[in-house]
Structure 1
Amino acid sequence: MTFSIVARSADGDSWGVAVASKFLAVGSAVPAAVAGVGAVATQAWANVAYKGLALAHLDEGATASIAVQRLIEEDDGRDHRQVGIVDVEGGAATYTGSACLEWAGGLTGDGFAVQGNILAGSEVIEAMRDAFEASDPEAPLARRLLAALAAGDEAGGDSRGRQSAALLVVKEGAGYGGFDDVAVDLRIDDHEDPIPELERLLGLHEALSPDVADEDQVPDTPELMAELDARARSLGHPHFAAWMGTHNLEAYGGPDWTAKQVIEELRAATPDWTP
């Protein structure tokens, strides 16, 4: 009832899962990932315990193939399960139980595995593979995963229809404020066309949670901050940080720098400001 891709980025810094299904809130059941460990998708008659178990096996040094083998050896319901795993080195494995509903199957490539069940046909996972391999290896992993998911949907996807989709990407220190590894965690739980909606949310996420290039950073000098604080106060905010938080722009700032874009936005918002 689901099609998914698990993958590692070409630079080896990120791991992720993209999934879609005619199933309510598929993102709550299928994907899991930990930076520096790997990613897993568990589906069909999903054994959600596979997520923690697979990541534990990978964390102990198992390859994706060994992790899959351990999962199915320990599970009496293995014939009804489907799982895809990518490990820390980009090794990938996929498994489809013999009792999964047709069409069901999976395949692997360099750094990724795709799998699905109750699909329109094998062309779904083939299209996902082709789209991922054709995508720019230097592009953000989230974009590459989403391209593969969209290709699978275009090829027929879940034969029962559409309902939900999810995207999970992890990278060391990439979470909010740098306190965890969750770079992207977006879910469309119930929508008539969930993949385009997921793409819309990813665009918002990228705009509000940027990876600011060095050339787009400005030193956080006392003089600059005094100006920005004053401009923010002219708009009714106690200081610049409060203005940033009100507009959900805090990801553009750090302890020692501020993004040029945010400075330009505040200056544009206060054209009549005078010191």
Structure 2
Amino acid sequence: MTFSLVARCAETGMFGVAISSSSPAVAARCAYARAGVGAVASQNITDPRLGPMGLDLMQKGLSAAETIAEIRKQGTFIDYRQVLVVDARGGTAIHSGPKALGIWSEAQGPDVASGGNLLADPAVPQAIVDGFRAAKGHLGDRLIAAMRAGVAAGGEAGPVHSAGMRLVDAVDWPVADLRVDWSDDDPIEALARLWDIYKPQLGAYVQRALDPREAPSYGVPGDE
């Protein structure tokens, strides 16, 4: 019911997850990232515990491959799960259990991993990886481009209704956590519009948290 990618920006060290599904509010259950550590997508009959587990393992120094090996040991009903991981060095690893739903597949390389289930075509994850690699600019822009490439390759077998994107950078909180929890139209394009609005303000929101004295004006009525 889902296709996604986890990724690292080799230039900035920023991590991100982008995901879409026919289920509601997919990013609330499936997208996990921690600054300086890595990113995890836990999907397909989702166990949300696997996201924080993966991040904790990588924070202890395990690589992406070691993290997936440990998740396979510690996770419950692991045959039903699909988990994607990227670590602080850009290493990637994927677990796709044999009981993943429908047509499922995966693709990965340095700094990016993609997987999906109930897909229209098994080539979708590779199209997502290729779309990410071909895109330029901010990590958020590259994640959106990758998801659009997945849609162009067929996407999910049925209509998708939710999408989300989480980005982490040098602070303890997500610098962007954008979600379309339900849409009868195109949640990925709705997410892209949200990103277009949020991207120019991202740095200002971080600055306001760190030192509001140096932050730009808020741009609201009464603000000078």
Q: TM-score, normalized by length of structure 1?
A: 0.74
Aligned to 1:79: 79
Q: Distance in 1 between matches of 2:14 and 2:25?
A: 24
Q: TM-score, normalized by length of structure 2?
A: 0.90
Aligned to 2:202: 209
Q: Distance in 2 between matches of 1:10 and 1:58?
A: 17
Counterpart mapping for 1:36-185 below 5 A: 36-136=36-136, 139-173=137-171, 180-185=172-177
Structure 1 residue runs without a partner (length 5+): 174-179, 212-247, 271-275
Aligned to 1:197: 190
- Following TM superposition, by how much is the alpha carbon of 1:61 offset from its aligned partner in structure 2, in angstroms? 0.5
Q: Distance in 1 between matches of 2:213 and 2:180?
A: 36
Q: Which AA in structure 1 matches 2:116?
A: G
- Following TM superposition, by how much is the alpha carbon of 1:12 offset from its aligned partner in structure 2, in angstroms? 4.4
Structure 2 residue runs without a partner (length 5+): none
Q: After the TM superposition, which parts of structure 1 deviate over 6 Å for at least 4 consecutive aligned residues? A: none
Q: Distance in 2 between matches of 1:101 and 1:160?
A: 13
Aligned to 1:5: 5
Aligned to 1:244: none
Q: Which AA in structure 1 matches 2:150?
A: G
- Following TM superposition, by how much is the alpha carbon of 1:165 offset from its aligned partner in structure 2, in angstroms? 0.1
Contact in 2 for aligned 1:5/1:114 (Cα 8 Å): yes
Contact in 2 for aligned 1:166/1:186 (Cα 8 Å): yes
Task: Determine if the alignment matches structure 1 residue 22 to structure 2 residue 2.
Answer: no
Contact in 2 for aligned 1:12/1:90 (Cα 8 Å): no
Contact in 2 for aligned 1:79/1:97 (Cα 8 Å): yes
Q: Distance in 1 between matches of 2:61 and 2:203?
A: 32
Q: Distance in 1 between matches of 2:215 and 2:78?
A: 52
Q: For the aligned residues, what is the CA RMSD? A: 2.4
- Following TM superposition, by how much is the alpha carbon of 1:255 offset from its aligned partner in structure 2, in angstroms? 5.5
Q: Which AA in structure 2 matches 1:200?
A: R
Contact in 1 for aligned 2:105/2:123 (Cα 8 Å): no
Contact in 1 for aligned 2:176/2:202 (Cα 8 Å): no
Q: Distance in 1 between matches of 2:195 and 2:50?
A: 27
- Following TM superposition, by how much is the alpha carbon of 1:207 offset from its aligned partner in structure 2, in angstroms? 3.0
Contact in 2 for aligned 1:103/1:120 (Cα 8 Å): yes
- Following TM superposition, by how much is the alpha carbon of 1:126 offset from its aligned partner in structure 2, in angstroms? 1.7
Q: Percent identity?
A: 34
2:188 aligns to what SS in structure 1? Answer: helix
Q: Distance in 2 between matches of 1:255 and 1:49?
A: 35
- Report Cα offsets for 1:189-212 as digits up to 9, x if no partner: 00021011001111111233346x
Q: Distance in 2 between matches of 1:126 and 1:53?
A: 26
Q: Distance in 2 between matches of 1:82 and 1:258?
A: 41
